Amino acid sequence: MVKVQSSRESFSNLKEDAKASKNALDKAWSCASKSAMLLCRPRTVGKGKSKTLATFTDRHGVVKPCPTRTIKTLKRHSLAVLLSGAFSDVASTTIEESGAVRVDASGEKDTAPACPVMTAGAALMFEQALTAYAQTAFLAALEICEGLGLHRKVTLGAMSAGCHITNTRIAAAGVTPTIQSNFSQWRKAPMAKNKKKKTAPETAP
């Protein structure tokens, strides 16, 4: 029996563990967009016992039930545009670095730029990060308006300051903000009013 070095055996174990974890994560992400929590209610027709799923006729003339759509913040086209823009930024940086080391770089084609595909699970996670960012920035803007005590309307300046605060927090922590869940308190909390204190009239000595 050929003796295998312990370091090579450990390296092989790491590769197998990483492959198994990747396959398990891929299966989990493939089921994410089909979970009941992330699906809209199916379209139905009729009432009571005659209630059935709504149907449609496809281009081949086959009658099929209307699909249950996923609850999404962004459309697939918006994600494709964002990914294409990110690839364009990476391509431009790669071309600059290639020129510095005198290597020819082909880059993207003007007529057909790179348009990568994002899986359903990864798209939901990307939407969660964007939603959490928007909620965190808006909550910071609400806190600014509440602190000023002027009005409850979020102005452009307050929102700009909220985005700046959120970006500073992300840069300091290095993580994506979590989804905020305390927006209801702003609907119920009374607005602080600036009341003038009544002072007693001065009396002559």
Element (H, E) at 55: strand 55-57
Q: Token pair of 178, please?
A: 């979590």
How crowded is residue 145: how many other Cβ atoms within 10 Å of its Cβ?
A: 19
The pLDDT of residue 202: 58
The pLDDT of residue 105: 82
Distances from the Cα of 134 to the Cα of 1, 146, 171, 180, angstroms: 61, 18, 16, 10
The pLDDT of residue 17: 92
pTM metric for this prediction: 0.49
The radius of gyration of the chain from alpha carbons, rounded to an integer in Å, stands at: 28
Task: Give dist(CA 191, CA 147) in Å, integer.
Answer: 10
Of the candidates 144, 142, 146, 141, the residue with the CA atom closest to the CA atom of residue 191:
146
Torsion-angle region of residue 45: left (phi > 0), alpha (psi -120 to 50) or beta? beta
How crowded is residue 136: how many other Cβ atoms within 10 Å of its Cβ?
A: 21
Residue with tokens 């348009």: 115
pLDDT averages per 10-residue partition of the chain, 205 residues: 71 89 82 75 85 87 84 77 85 87 83 77 80 88 81 82 88 63 50 53 54
**Three-state DSSP class for residue 56:** strand
Of the candidates 182, 133, 165, 170, the residue with the CA atom closest to the CA atom of residue 157:
165
The pLDDT of residue 76: 75
Element (H, E) at 57: strand 55-57
Going from N- to C-terminal start, the domains of the chain cover 12-35+70-105+116-181
